[in-house]
Amino acid sequence: MGVPRVADGGSPLLQALLTALPWAAALAAALVIDRWWGEPPVALHPVVWMGRALHWCGERIAPAQPVATDARAFVLGAAAWLLMASVVAGAAVALQHAALQLPAWLAVPVLALLLKPLLAWRMLRDEVVAVEEALAQSLEAGRERLSRLVSRDVHALQAVQVRESAIESLAENLNDSVVAPLFWFMLLGLPGAALYRFANTADAMWGYPGMRGGRYWQWAGKWAARADDVLSWVPARITAVLLALCARRVRWAALARQARRTPSPNSGWPMAAMALALDVRLCKPGVYTLHRRGRAAAPADTHRAAVLAARAVAWGCRCTAARMRWAFRCTIFPPTRMPPGPVPPPWRRARADAARYPDPAYTALREALGAWHGVAPGRILPAASASEFIHRFTAWSARQGIGGVVVPAHAYGDYARAARAWGLPLLASPVPEAEAGAEKDSGKTLLHWACEPGSPLGTPDSALEAWRAQAVIHGGTPDADLRIADCAYAPLRLELAGGPLPANAWQLWTPNKALGLTGVRAAYAIAPACVPRHDLDALQVTGALLADRRARRGDAVGLGGAAGAGLAAASLGTLRAWKAAQRALCEDMGWTVQAGSRANYFVARPPVEDLPPWLHAMRLQGVKLRDCGSFGLPGCVRLGVLPPASQQALRAAWQDAGPATTA
């Protein structure tokens, strides 16, 4: 659906909320508007506009006399429906797009105002209650009031039948006027809600198997009827479930059995749920009878039905709020993140002119990165992502005939996956003597991986000390090893490193991890000065690999390298304070915190018996933590250093989910 424009900087909580699920906030606001102000004026009501357009078109496509088969009327009805549906959806797309260009604080109420006319809970409830009030005055008054709500002939209905019809209409229209529009809004945004409302209105006006309004709709309205059946299928069952859950007395087998008694594939579900929940009989003479053993509906049952429907709407809102809470917490508590800051100008320029990047040879990108790192541009190798480069470099190394891959004891899983993909043995040891022995046994060059700082522990990688001790210079000879230091989190290293990287080591940089850029996957590598030109040419990426939107955004990261690095450096003091507070929080909760982390993340062991179910419970509370089992640290989790509000979200989730699973 898209998100509203969020201003640079500002509260991270507000930004997370309004960026994660603005349509959920708009949904809640629309229900508030409906509750207090009801329907907009007829002249400004989009559903009224739809009805007028359908009436005008229907007069011209439906025949005046019944016919056995009318392919022409069917085709015209389908074409007219598709044309008007396209206009409705297109207008909704345009309005939604315009609303999302507004600042976030203004976009949500605008979306709510656009959504409100597409649902009608207050009007539905008031009309049903008004039928009972009119029926208390006289049977004729009740019939007249009911005629505003249903399309059936009401002149021969008795008082109990008038009441049953009102309750049936409440249940059926609870889906048509509330649940289904909100369902499609949550799924497809404003265009989804508008399209459903049009389809439902078209079914109400065209979807009749006979004469109505002086026109024969058997064929002209068939497409409209079937389209509404399709779009209402899931929401109708959701409505029935909500009613059944609120009543707490409905047997699911009985609900499914009763729902199939109506000709409609959908309307029977909410009506059957209402009949079973109230324990009343609902009947349309000559068509169906739901819950035949139920008692006749009494005056109090109309009000009970309205209360039950209101509870169903409230439960639907609670489900939406729960999803909103989960998404909100996941947004503000990702695995790693730096403090929010302004978007550097190079990124703005790249975003405004996406066609500029990448240039055919990535010349501008290499020059910018080379200048920042103080290396020749030819030593820069762009990549679609860190994972892509890991697999690309491992494949190239395998073609050089290497004898194996040395990975840290606790490391990113793609190192090992890439090695297995090429059938290369894994040698997990950073100890110099063990590496030398492995190399001697293999008789071939090895590919070594290291992380600076290490992940997930955040500690210095001991393999780097081994590299410095050996000081092997890569010159292309068969006994020269290949060494790559993954520097993904180096910009946010909170303590000084042990020393410079060996001159023979490659460097792999992933700016988005340090800068917290969700959705940006681009990376780049820096080759040692001693690497021959023909090896660099063999490792260079093709233009097609990075010629997509994600890569253009990654190029923007590269071109904003200096500004981004400056932003990261400016945040280190804040991160140190947050880290100290977060470590103290974890210890206060009884977690065992691993010592030695120099990065903006650390590892802790929560006191739980079985970690996976607990992680699932935490995720239901909106907090997603990284299981370190894949890093060789079972029972531990990695936590990114985050703002105080996110830390409080962690504490709240621990209080909710922790006691059920702790040792």
pLDDT at 602 over 70: yes
DSSP per residue, 135-200: HHH-HHHHHHHHHTT--S--TT--HHHHHHHHHHHHHHHHIIIIIHHHHHHHHH-HHHHHHHHHHH
CB-based contacts of 652-658 (< 8 A; 24+ apart in sequence): 652/621, 653/329, 653/618, 653/621, 653/622, 653/623, 654/589, 654/606, 654/618, 656/617, 656/621, 657/614, 657/617, 657/618, 657/620, 657/621, 658/589, 658/606, 658/608, 658/614
C-alpha closest to that of 243 among 179, 187, 158: 179
21-25, 138-142, 287-291, 367-371, range with the lowest pLDDT: 21-25
Question: Above 70 in pLDDT, residue 641?
Answer: yes
Range with the lowest mean pLDDT among 355-369, 460-474, 607-621?
460-474
Model confidence pTM above 0.85:
no
User: Could you give all domains of the chain from N- to C-terminal order, each with its CATH number?
Assistant: 12-329 (no CATH), 345-568 (3.40.640.10), 571-661 (3.90.1150.10)
**pLDDT category of residue 265 using cuts at 50, 70 and 90:** very high
Residue 40 has pLDDT above 50, yes or no: yes
How far apart (Å, rounded) are the C-alpha atoms in residues 257 and 244? 14
- How far is the C-alpha of 61 from the C-alpha of 77, rounded, in Å? 6
Extract the tokens encoding 386: 């860190």
pLDDT at position 218, please? Answer: 85
> Does pLDDT of 314 surpass 90?
no
Q: What is the average pLDDT across 339-360?
A: 50
The top-scoring range by mean pLDDT among 111-115, 417-421, 466-470, 556-560 is 111-115
For the segment 492-497, the average pLDDT, to the nearest whole number, is 71
Whether the predicted pLDDT of 57 surpasses 70: yes
* Stretch 5-26: mean pLDDT: 50
Mean pLDDT, rounded, of the chain: 80
Q: Per-residue pLDDT for 411 more than 80?
A: no
The pLDDT score that the predictor gives to residue 435 is 43
DSSP string, 404-472: EEE--SS--HHHHHHHHHTTPPB-----HHHHHHHHHHH-S-EEEEEESS-TTT-SPPHHHHHHHHH-P
Place 360 in a pLDDT band, splitting at 50, 70 and 90.
Answer: low
567 three-class SS? helix
| Beta bridge partner(s), residue 448 | 406, 483
CA pair distance 26, 186, nearest whole angstrom = 10
Q: What is the mean pLDDT of residues 93-97?
A: 93
545 confidence band (pLDDT: 50, 70, 90): very low
pLDDT digits (tens, 9 = 90+) for 183-241: 998 888 899 999 999 999 999 899 888 887 788 888 888 999 999 999 999 999 999 99
